[in-house]
Chains A and B, each alone.
Chain A
Amino acid sequence: MSPELLSILGLCGFATLCLKGSFIEGQRHLQMPGWFRDALDYVPPAILMALVVPGFIKGDATLTVLNGAVWIDPRWIGAIVAFAAYQLTRKSIPTLAAGMLALHGSYWLQSVLTAA
Chain B
Amino acid sequence: MSTTKGTLSPLHAGAWAILPLTPGIVPFGLIAGVTPVQLGYHWIDSALASLLIFAGASQIAAYQLIAQDSALWVIVLTVVAVNLRYVLYSASIAPHLSEAPWPIRIAAAYGLTDQSYAVCLHTFAVREFDLRERVLFYFGGVGVIWGVWQSATLVGALAGQVIPRIWSLEFMIPLSFFVLALSTVRRPPHRTAAILGGSVAALLMHAPFNLGLITGASVGVLGGLLHHRWRQPHVS
Contacts and interface: CB of A to CB of B under 8 A. Distances in A.
Contacts of A50: 197-198, 200-201, 212-214, 216-217, 220
B86 A45 contact: no
Contacts of A57: 202, 205
A53 interface: yes
Contacts of A109: none
Interface stretch (B14-22, B55-63, B149-157): B55-63
A57 B44 CA distance: 30
Contacts of B225: 35, 38-39, 42
B194 interface: yes
Interface string B85-121: 1111111011101100010011011101000000000
B84 interface: yes
A57 B180 CA distance: 19
B198 A42 contact: no
A46 B216 CA distance: 7
Interface in A19-56: 19-25, 27-28, 32, 35, 37-56
A47 B218 CA distance: 8
B201 A12 contact: no
Select the residue from A13, A25, A58, A104 with max chain B CB neighbours within 10 A. Answer: A13
A112 interface: no
Interface residues of A, number: 65
B90 A48 contact: no
Interface residues of B, number: 95
Contact of A48 (B64, B98, B165, B184): B184
A49 B109 contact: no
B168 A53 contact: no
Contacts of B200: 50
Select the residue from A40, A46, A93 with max chain B CB neighbours within 10 A. Answer: A46
A79 B204 CA distance: 20
27 contacts: A1-B44, A5-B45, A8-B66, A8-B72, A12-B52, A16-B55, A19-B80, A23-B87, A25-B105, A40-B84, A45-B181, A45-B190, A46-B194, A46-B223, A48-B177, A48-B184, A49-B181, A49-B195, A50-B213, A51-B64, A52-B177, A62-B170, A63-B166, A66-B165, A75-B174, A86-B178, A96-B27
Interface of A: 1, 5-6, 8-13, 15-17, 19-25, 27-28, 32, 35, 37-58, 61-63, 66-67, 75, 78-79, 82-83, 86, 90, 92-93, 95-96, 99-100, 103-104
Interface of B: 24, 27-28, 41-42, 44-45, 48-49, 52-55, 57-58, 61-62, 64, 66, 72, 75-76, 78-91, 93-95, 97-98, 102, 105-106, 108-110, 112, 165-166, 168, 170-185, 189-191, 193-202, 205, 212-214, 216-221, 223-225, 228-229
Given A39-B224, A45-B181, A49-B201, 15 more contacts: A12-B53, A12-B62, A12-B76, A15-B79, A19-B84, A19-B90, A46-B221, A49-B216, A51-B64, A51-B78, A52-B174, A54-B202, A57-B202, A62-B171, A93-B27
